Structure 1
Amino acid sequence: MTLRAALLVLAAGLSVLAAEPTPVGTWKTYDDHTGALHGLVEITESGGEFQGRILKSYDPAKPNPVCDHCEGARKGQPVIGMVFLWGLRKDGDTYRGGYILDPDNGKVYKARLQLADGGRKLAVRGFIGFSLLGRTQTWVRAE
C-alpha cells in the first residue's frame, strides 16, 4: 500500500512539472513607442537551448524588411524568417545566457527571458554588460 501511495504522489508531481509553461510558442511583439502590434515571433527549443525567429512584421512602412544595419551573414538578409534570439538556457525561472539582435539597428545584446502571468506574457530583456543597462519588452502569447 505504501508503494502505491508513493507512486501516486510521484505521478501527481510529474504531471505538475509537465504542465509548467515554457517560452516555446508564438508571441506577439509591440512597438515600444506606440504600443501597436509590431510582429510575430516563434520561440523553439532544441537540446535545452531556446531560439526565436521572426514570423511576421506588421509595420506597413516596411512590408518586407531587410537587416541593412546587420553585420556578417545577416547583412542585407530578409528579417522575416531570421533567427534573432539564440543561446538561451533555462536557469530557475529565467532563461539566460543568450543573445538578441535588434534588426532595426543591427546591434546584438545579451538577452534574458522570464515568463509572467501564468505563461501568457514574456518579459524579454536585452542589455549591454549588466542587466541594469538595457530595456525590457513584454510579449504576449498568440492564441
Structure 2
Amino acid sequence: MMGKQLIGALLLSAISSFSFAEDITGTWQSIDDKTGAPKALIEIRKETNGSYAGKIVKITPRAGYTPKEICVDCPAPYTNKPILGLDVVTGLKHSEGLNYSNGRILDPNTGKVYSMKAKLSSNGKRLHLRGYLGVSALGRNQIWIRTE
C-alpha cells in the first residue's frame, strides 16, 4: 500500500511541477541583452483568448541611462503613451511543451515592433525571448528572470 501512495504522490508532484513550468504568468525582470543590466519589470497575464500579454510595471534605474517616460517613436496605438503600464508583449501563444510563439514585442526605446517567440526554462525561472523581423535568424535574444 505504501508503494502506491508514494507513486501517487510522485505522479501528482510531477504533474503539478510540469503545469507550473508551462505557466509564464507573473512578474519578470527583463535584462538588457547588450549590457546585462536589469531594464524593467514586466507583468505577464493570460488574456481571455488564451494568448499572453505583458506590461511594464516598473522601470529599473540604471547608471548612466535616463529612461524615456513617453513612447515617442512608437507606432499607434502606443504613440505618446506613458511607457509605465504599456503592453510591450502581445499575442504570445503557447505552442508546445515550454515553447511560445506568434507574439509581438515592442521596444519602447526605439519604437520598433518585432515578432517574438519564447521558451521557458525547465525550472520555470527564466524566459528566453527571441525578437526578430521577418525570419527568426535575424533578431536578438533576451533572458527574463522570474521575480516571484
TM-score by length of 2: 0.81
* Identity %, equivalent residues: 35
Deviation at 1:32, TM superposition (A): 2.4
Deviation at 1:65, TM superposition (A): 1.4
Deviation at 1:104, TM superposition (A): 0.7
| Secondary structure at the counterpart of residue 136 of structure 1 | strand
| Secondary structure at the counterpart of residue 71 of structure 2 | coil
Q: Which residue does the alignment assign to 2:60?
A: 58
TM-score by length of 1: 0.83
- Number of aligned residues: 137
Gaps of 5+ in 1: 1-7
Q: How does 1:1-143 map to 2 (within 5 A)?
A: 12=12, 15=16, 17-47=18-48, 48-59=50-61, 61-62=65-66, 65-92=69-96, 93-143=98-148
Q: Which residue does the alignment assign to 2:5?
A: none
Deviation at 1:21, TM superposition (A): 3.4
Deviation at 1:71, TM superposition (A): 1.7
Gaps of 5+ in 2: 1-7
Provide Cα deviations, 1:59-85, integer angstroms capped at 9, x if missing partner.
Answer: 354366111110222111100000111
